[in-house]
Chains A and B, each alone.
Chain A
Amino acid sequence: MDNYWQSIEEYGKDPKELDRKAEFTEENHPLAEMFDKSIINAPASRRNFLKMFGFSIATATVVSSCKNSVNKAIPYLIKPEEITPGKATFYASSYMDSSDYCSILVKTREGRPIKIEGNTLSSITKGGTSAKTQASVLSLYDTERLQNPIAKGTEKSWNEIDKDIIKELNKISSDKGNIVLLTSSIYSPSTKKVIEQFRKKHNSLKVVNYDPVSASAIILANKNTFNKALIPSYYFNKAAVIVSFGADFLGTWISPIEFTRQYVQNRKLTNGEKTMSRHIHFETGMSLTGSNADKRIPIKPSDEGIILANLYNELTKITGAESFSTPESPVNIKEIANELLNNKTKSLVVSGSNNLSNQILVNAINNLLGSYGNTIDLNTPFLIKQAIDSDFNSLVQSMNEGSIDALLIYNANPVYNSFISSSFITGLEKVPLKISFASTLDETASLCDYVCPDNHYLESWNDAEPKKGFYSLMQPTIANLFNTRQFQESILTWAGNTTKYHDFIQSVWEAELFPKQEMPLFRNFWNKSLQDGIFEVQPVKASQPEFIDSFTKPAIDKLASNQNEAGFEISFYEKVSIGNGNQANNPWLQEMPDPISKIVWDNYANISPKQAKELNLKNGDVININHTIQLPIFIQPGQAYQTLSVAYGYGRTKTGKVGNKVGENVFPLPTIKEGCIQNTLLNVAVSAIGFNHPLAMTQTHHSMEGRKIVRESTLEKYLEDPKSGNEYHFEIEEESTSLYKNHPTEGHHWGMVVDLNSCIGCGNCVIACQAENNVPVVGKEEAMKNREMQWIRIDRYYNGDPENPETVFQPVMCQHCDNAPCENVCPTAATNHSSEGLNQMIYNRCVGTKYCANNCPYKVRRFNWFDYTNADAIPANTHDVAGMTVDLKRMVLNPDVTVRAKGVMEKCSMCVQRIQEKKLDAKIEGRPLKDLEIQTACMQSCPSNAIIFGDMNDKKSEVSRLMHNERNYHLLEELHVLPSVGYLTKIRNKKA
């Protein structure tokens, strides 16, 4: 048995010796915070008892003698045809937030969007979503959104503002002035046409693309080596060997939802597969992708180029191509080179670096390996990121020179997230006309003359082409909540075009896409595309462009000359939850535990355990970086020695109540090189300042005390014996006997299987569950007291050397044990067992003794220490850090799930509301339930299909099949609590 550990404090210690923070302690009691300790500890006197007793009786009498309230039932005046009160309506749409894209279904109830589901028809995202996508529905109801357009600090009507802006724009155009549209990459074909319309009127319009975390180097490298400035398609499913240099393709790199589906496709072993891809990962900080790799190699950011050059040379040695002299590689890459070459045309090398030379080398290596046309396709490029960082640089220069007369800023916030924000600000002052389309008064918008708030994407019409030939539509699912207007309509209005944007999209689709398919009527084509949410043109097979070799040598030479000095290096990364900080005001995302560190509500500098020991630092100690920025450190196992890694997206100042002043903004730190922002910082001076900033970490609290919780094996051993790593399960099964009577086998018996081999730990399910089940947000202070409320958590375990451990992820939700320990101890029978095998939690019976949570071996029960969502409207009970008691935000609540009040226990219900809904459908239609018809929220949106839910009594169901898989085991099965959730062992593709 491997010795797993969860945090660095735990490594190497005897689990019993660890001083664990318990969730339910006297010190933690909310009363203890309110009162002096002496009151709690004082013995109850007879008089006090009588006082309390009398008061309780009197209160009960007064409360119960209140009259029943009069409820109103207010029907629609004229009911829209598609809405049936009490039933959900789904609309296919697209989630677009700068370069994030996902094809989705929007669940609406009585006309308000409450949940995002993945769209299975899309061949890009295939029904998967990301945490950011799931959380975006809450951003719709953000109270910080602008409610009216603003002109020079005062709210104005659209008519007034249009008149002024048109006048000013016309004047600029007639004076031959320069108008610039600064925008995040636009991949909507219709929006591009809208901008064309605008350009017809104002021919000086120049569009500058701006992505805060860009892919400039990839685009430029392809421009050099293939004469095509684009990001190609990658096919991780076709690769037998994947070597990634810091590309977090499962978390944040380019199209993570799509890549997750592809990646997992040939790592699944549930259908008798005999092979798995092999994934080798070089990186600085521990990323989501790196933690899933079969072999992970921590490197300093500056070493990446050298390793790439050596890898290139190693490959050329074997293939016989020309090699170039390079500095020696810090790691041995011979073996990797061999592995890659053995899988020629079935291998893929990617790099997340934004260094041009590195990307040119990656292209050269892929060319040697024959990846183009196999695992990489240059003919169907991604369009979601188009920005070249240097374009923005030259824009700022022109602004400072005073040669820009009007700046239109759409979907960009450079004051916050540009590396040269200070010179952008000074430049901005020299621009006479500044118009922002931001939907909140963010850092940039607050410096603009006019703010013309854009709709939220759930209120908008739009189309998208995230990848060439893959189109999708966005449609409004709610009328505008505020007096906002779509960017495109504003632009059309100012261009003197009175067409509604919806009609405009239709005309674009009719002219450009309608001819690409066979339906005879445009109306039918449009309706089908709108219903499906997508329209995909089958790519035509074409040969890949020719590789231009002449850039390889200069790239390697440049690397060789860049021989760097020893010293601290920082690598900057995006978090899976917060990303570039666009949705920083979304409390669900702020409270989503980081997949790796499990820290909420903060960013921090990750540091390696060895380094921390040397500097004598502990978690939360604040360090000064280059004397410009202070950040708490977090000791991250697997972090490369002498490096730090820090997440972008934090330290917003004008995003709203939730996101302001959370963490520090590190966007200004990186430097630009060869037109690309480097996302790294070399030669950093680090000093401790002797101050501790406590970090809220959700995992140390959930220790499994070194038991056989995660089980794993290697591919080799698995092929020999599928039971490998899981022998313990069969031991337990053999010994299994019970004094309890067997559970009934009649009817349904719901169960779930989680494939640990597929689960990448991205945390999408956590947010999906939160949205579906009205799970509250508690805030950092409460999270530090172990009071986070999420019903599903992803436990992350380390194994091995703290400098480079192996990682396992394990989603844990209520296990719905047949012999549930929680049920026996509840004094009010508030938790008991249903005839369908569910462990039921009845909130109205619960009096909050917390016995059940103390008796649960899995610690999945969550207690409402306060009323977080205004469930009972008693002001003293509420605790609202995230504005979730505001009516506007409460619109996101699922009306089919009770909003829990203070003092009740809650936990995963296996989405019983979804079970009941589908059962009813089947009963009404008079047919048996279909397997996989019921999908829990976590299962529906899982991008890696790791979660399967179903009826264990149905012998033909997928879940029964997996429950009988040799890899299946249960958590703490030695306790004989008979969980209904099974886990499939993790299999690593490594040499034993």
Chain B
Amino acid sequence: MNILSRLKTSKLFPMKIFSIKFLLFLFVTTFYLPVNAQPDGEQLFKTNCAVCHKIGAKLVGPDLMGVNDRHSEEWLLKFIKSSQTVIKSGDEAAVKLFNENFKLVMPDQPTLSNEDIKAVLSYIAAFSVEQDQAATEIQKEDKLAGMSENFLQEEIKEGTRLFLGLKSPEKGGESCVNCHYTTIPDSLNWNPSAADLSKYSLSKTDAELLKSINNPSSGKLKEVHQNYNLSEDEFTSIKAYLIDFGKKGLKEVRPLPKRLLTFLIFGFLIVLMLIDLIWTHKIKYKVIHLAVILLAIVFISKIIIEEAYAVAYATGYEPDQPIKFSHKVHAGQNRIDCQYCHSSAETSKTAGIPSANVCLNCHKAVKTGPNSGSFEIAKIYDAIENKKPIEWVKVHNLPDHVFFSHAQHVNAGKISCDQCHGQVEEMHVVKQVSELSMGWCLECHKNTKINFTNNAYYSQMFEQLHKDLKSGKIDSVTESQVGGIDCQKCHY
């Protein structure tokens, strides 16, 4: 047997990209809000301002980080109460701001008192300081990672018990493993895995981590984590476990090999019967021996034949991906066209896995998802930040000696994506539904009617077919009639 290989076309060259650090800021802001900010200010900010403003990033309105330094308090008070009045008065800074923000009118805030606004402003000021600190903390990452080596074995053990639910946290809350899985394949669990958490915990300070467990600031996390109140000790143990876990990685769980067991049991039966037949003679009627042996042989053969047929076929292949990307959300619920992301399907042989910058087209603005919150989406920013392309797992694999062109099928043949890929818009995780075997290809090539009369490509050849079509002898032309089952259509 010749195993032939083609040079891997997926070998890509690292591209220089400009750094977009601010994305990390965004990511941080969605998760952590300061502990010691004025409660008034925070609450007021969230109810009145957060719809349009963020601290550390531009949303609809401008970024509020450092707004206290840019404008005087007096000016801010006036502007926040009624921005249009200030603008119409001809204030230079206000007009400039208005123009820079596409002349979007900021609604007046008549309900807010001067004290309220001051509280908000001091919240913003405090938040900004906090942010700066957070940024410097991140730079200490290496130091932290070094620290993590020093956990005691007991701590790790205790953490394991806590995480895996062998011991409940003192002050209530479910065990972590209920949501944060430790094994693969997981049956699509939207929450970050223990490995993800491990990686994440290395990049944060203990205070931040503890806060994100016990008192998350917003979003879904706040909802599901509301019952948690881990003690310092419990936290340290769990962190110890996570760091330790990070070194090992996710465990792969193999499903019980039922077929192999059946196979062995039947084999064992045969041997048993033979032993009895030849030596022990416990069973009187030889018909029973014969019947059992025959039955066993039938089952064994069935397994062998079926397994042999399945060799090298990967129907049902559904691997975990590095990002919990859901086609159901994107293609199903949001009705994004397949070719928006897989844009080269019309022009090239490969449909193309979208590059991270394509993700950013939407995810520049969409920072949280319905299922996984912001954790998974943040991986895109992380990839761009660290200049590390995302290593997706290829689902539909054709052998290297097969040339398959998407352009041929999608563009020239006008075949819809689902004909081979199935109802992707209903799959969270993409699964291979077709056999992708040569027989499967040929089946389609033999039966598919082609656009023979309307494509001018065929206009000057196949005179006989044209005649037959006209005279009504045939009503359509299939791919196989125009050379669609030649070997070198696909193998060269």
Hey, which bits of chain A sit against chain B, CB under 8 A?
63-65, 68, 70-80, 84-87, 109-112, 479, 746-748, 832, 834-836, 838, 840, 842-844, 846-847, 871-873, 890-891, 893, 895-904, 909, 912-913, 916, 919-920, 922-924, 926-929, 953-954
Hey, which bits of chain B sit against chain A, CB under 8 A?
1-7, 9-15, 17, 311-312, 314, 317, 319, 344, 347-350, 352-358, 383-384, 387-394, 397, 399-401, 403, 405, 407-408, 411-412, 454-457, 459-465, 482-483, 486-489, 491-492
Question: Is the beta-carbon distance between B405 and A920 smaller than 8 angstroms?
Answer: yes
Q: Hey, which chain A residues are within 8 Å of B354, CB to CB?
A: 75
B388 — nearest CB in chain A belongs to which residue? A77
Extra contacts besides A70-B319, A916-B492 (10): CB < 8 Å: A74-B392, A75-B12, A85-B9, A85-B350, A86-B349, A109-B9, A901-B3, A904-B4, A920-B407, A920-B408
- Beyond A479-B13, A913-B492, A929-B457, is A871–B5 a contact (Cβ under 8 Å)? yes
Task: Choose from A68, A73, A84, A835 the contact partner of B486 (Cβ within 8 Å).
Answer: A835
Nearest chain B CB to A461 CB, angstrom units: 18
Q: Hey, which chain B residues are within 8 Å of A832, CB to CB?
A: 487
Q: Hey, which chain B residues are within 8 Å of A835, CB to CB?
A: 482-483, 486
Task: Choose from B1, B358, B456, B488 the contact partner of A927 (Cβ within 8 Å).
Answer: B456
Question: Is the beta-carbon distance between A77 and B460 smaller than 8 angstroms?
Answer: no
Question: Is the beta-carbon distance between B407 and A840 smaller than 8 angstroms?
Answer: no
Question: Is the beta-carbon distance between B397 and A836 smaller than 8 angstroms?
Answer: no
Question: Is the beta-carbon distance between B491 and A898 smaller than 8 angstroms?
Answer: yes
A748 — nearest CB in chain B belongs to which residue? B461
A130 and B388 alpha carbons, distance in the complex (Å): 41
A913 and B489 alpha carbons, distance in the complex (Å): 9
Question: Is the beta-carbon distance between A912 and B488 smaller than 8 angstroms?
Answer: yes
Q: Hey, which chain B residues are within 8 Å of A70, CB to CB?
A: 319, 393-394
Task: Choose from B405, B487, B492 the contact partner of A898 (Cβ within 8 Å).
Answer: B492
- Beyond A76-B15, A77-B356, is A746–B2 a contact (Cβ under 8 Å)? no
Task: Choose from A73, A74, A77, A746 the contact partner of B464 (Cβ within 8 Å).
Answer: A746
A488 and B2 alpha carbons, distance in the complex (Å): 49
A816 and B214 alpha carbons, distance in the complex (Å): 75
**6 contacts across the A-B interface (CB closer than 8 A):** A64-B311, A74-B389, A75-B12, A78-B15, A747-B461, A842-B487
A846 and B491 alpha carbons, distance in the complex (Å): 12
Task: Choose from B9, B11, B355, B456 the contact partner of A926 (Cβ within 8 Å).
Answer: B456
- Beyond A72-B393, A920-B407, A922-B457, is A895–B355 a contact (Cβ under 8 Å)? no
Question: Is the beta-carbon distance between B348 and A898 smaller than 8 angstroms?
Answer: no
A72 — nearest CB in chain B belongs to which residue? B391
Nearest chain B CB to A392 CB, angstrom units: 41
Task: Choose from B2, B314, B348, B403 the contact partner of A901 (Cβ within 8 Å).
Answer: B2
Question: Is the beta-carbon distance between A927 and B457 smaller than 8 angstroms?
Answer: yes
Chain A binding surface SS class: loop
Query: Which of A834, A846, A904, A924 has the largest number of chain B CB atoms within 10 A?
Result: A924
Task: Choose from B1, B355, B461, B487 the contact partner of A78 (Cβ within 8 Å).
Answer: B355
Nearest chain B CB to A743 CB, angstrom units: 13
Q: Hey, which chain A residues are within 8 Å of B319, CB to CB?
A: 70
B459 — nearest CB in chain A belongs to which residue? A928
Task: Choose from A77, A847, A898 the contact partner of B4 (Cβ within 8 Å).
Answer: A898
Question: Is the beta-carbon distance between B455 and A923 smaller than 8 angstroms?
Answer: yes
Q: Hey, which chain A residues are within 8 Å of B389, CB to CB?
A: 74-77
Q: Hey, which chain B residues are within 8 Å of A872, CB to CB?
A: 2-5
B389 — nearest CB in chain A belongs to which residue? A77
A71 and B390 alpha carbons, distance in the complex (Å): 13
Nearest chain A CB to B400 CB, angstrom units: 7
Nearest chain A CB to B323 CB, angstrom units: 12
Question: Is the beta-carbon distance between B465 and A746 smaller than 8 angstroms?
Answer: yes
Nearest chain B CB to A683 CB, angstrom units: 55
A79 and B355 alpha carbons, distance in the complex (Å): 6
Question: Is the beta-carbon distance between A86 and B391 smaller than 8 angstroms?
Answer: no
A63 — nearest CB in chain B belongs to which residue? B1
Task: Choose from A846, A890, A926, A953 the contact partner of B455 (Cβ within 8 Å).
Answer: A926
Question: Is the beta-carbon distance between A899 and B17 smaller than 8 angstroms?
Answer: no
Query: Which of A87, A890, A891, A903 has the largest number of chain B CB atoms within 10 A?
Result: A87
Q: Hey, which chain B residues are within 8 Å of A954, CB to CB?
A: 460-461
Question: Is the beta-carbon distance between A78 and B459 smaller than 8 angstroms?
Answer: no
- Beyond A77-B15, A77-B355, A86-B348, is A916–B457 a contact (Cβ under 8 Å)? no
Question: Is the beta-carbon distance between B6 and A75 smaller than 8 angstroms?
Answer: no
- Beyond A85-B9, A85-B350, A898-B400, is A928–B405 a contact (Cβ under 8 Å)? no
A847 and B4 alpha carbons, distance in the complex (Å): 12
Question: Is the beta-carbon distance between B457 and A110 smaller than 8 angstroms?
Answer: no
A953 and B456 alpha carbons, distance in the complex (Å): 17
A-B residue pairs, 10 tightest by C-beta: A86-B348, A835-B483, A79-B355, A86-B350, A76-B355, A71-B394, A75-B353, A834-B486, A923-B412, A86-B349
Task: Choose from B11, B314, B401, B412 the contact partner of A68 (Cβ within 8 Å).
Answer: B314
Q: Hey, which chain B residues are within 8 Å of A897, CB to CB?
A: 6, 492
Q: Hey, which chain A residues are within 8 Å of B9, CB to CB?
A: 85-86, 109-110, 895
A920 and B355 alpha carbons, distance in the complex (Å): 26
Task: Choose from B4, B352, B486 the contact partner of A840 (Cβ within 8 Å).
Answer: B486
A79 and B358 alpha carbons, distance in the complex (Å): 9
Question: Is the beta-carbon distance between B488 and A834 smaller than 8 angstroms?
Answer: yes
A954 and B460 alpha carbons, distance in the complex (Å): 8
Q: Hey, which chain A residues are within 8 Å of B4, CB to CB?
A: 843-844, 871-872, 898-901, 904
Nearest chain B CB to A443 CB, angstrom units: 33
Question: Is the beta-carbon distance between B483 and A834 smaller than 8 angstroms?
Answer: yes
Question: Is the beta-carbon distance between A843 and B15 smaller than 8 angstroms?
Answer: no
- Beyond A77-B17, A923-B457, is A85–B344 a contact (Cβ under 8 Å)? yes
Q: Hey, which chain B residues are within 8 Å of A836, CB to CB?
A: 483, 486
Nearest chain A CB to B290 CB, angstrom units: 28
Q: Hey, which chain A residues are within 8 Å of B459, CB to CB?
A: 928
A75 and B13 alpha carbons, distance in the complex (Å): 10
A951 — nearest CB in chain B belongs to which residue? B461
